[in-house]
Amino acid sequence: MNAKSELPELAALYKKREEHQAIIAALDAEIRVLEDKQKKPVDWKNRAIDCLQTHNLPLRTLNILDYIVSNEPQLNTADPYKRRFQFQAVYATLNGQCEHGTLKRIAIPGFKGYFYGLNTWFNKDGKLKAAINQKLQYELWSNPHSIFKAGK
């Protein structure tokens, strides 16, 4: 004989434990569904690098943020506080990547702030390679449909 059949109290406890385990399993399933729906944090670093690779020329923080927001509808907001937070997140990410050597920043006369570009776009002396510089100069000064025409 096993212990379940000897004591009715023990059998009742085993049954109660099985009921609780079924409830816990159902709750675990509900938790997994809700966790999947939960907003995931934005991967600012990879989104910023993706933006630079997509445009294939140095961009300012604001241009990178606009690109990220256009590809992440849940980030689109008119709230200036949230927009400032997003700008600060992108700015901190870009500067962090400059410190790690993934990106470099350059200042261009006539434009406020820095332009950020991939490390591979620069010569050993820290200047833009000729092809990238030519493309950037065209976008800055000649292309009427440039993303930089929105405001200097």
Three-class DSSP category at 126: coil
d(CA 62, CA 68): 10
d(CA 96, CA 29): 39
d(CA 80, CA 109): 28
Query: Per-domain residue ranges for the chain?
Result: 3-37, 44-150
Element (H, E) at 28: helix 8-37
Q: What is the reported pTM? A: 0.70
**pLDDT class for 77, splitting at 50, 70, 90?**
confident
Please compute the mean of the pLDDT values over residues 88-93 and round it to a whole number.
Answer: 94
Q: Reply yes or no on whether the pLDDT at 93 is more than 50.
A: yes
pLDDT digits (tens, 9 = 90+) for 16-67: 999 999 899 888 888 888 777 667 778 899 999 999 999 999 999 999 999 9
Three-class DSSP category at 64: helix
d(CA 128, CA 136): 10
Backbone angles phi, psi at 51, to 5 degrees: -60, -45
d(CA 53, CA 104): 14
Largest CA distance in the chain: 92
* Per-residue model confidence (pLDDT) at position 1: 44
Fold of 44-150: Arc Repressor Mutant, subunit A (1.10.10)
* Per-residue model confidence (pLDDT) at position 5: 55
d(CA 125, CA 108): 16
**pLDDT class for 10, splitting at 50, 70, 90?**
confident
Asked if 117 and 132 count as a contact pair (C-beta separation under 8 A), the reply is yes
* Per-residue model confidence (pLDDT) at position 73: 78
pLDDT digits (tens, 9 = 90+) for 99-131: 999 999 999 888 888 999 999 999 999 899 999
* Per-residue model confidence (pLDDT) at position 86: 92
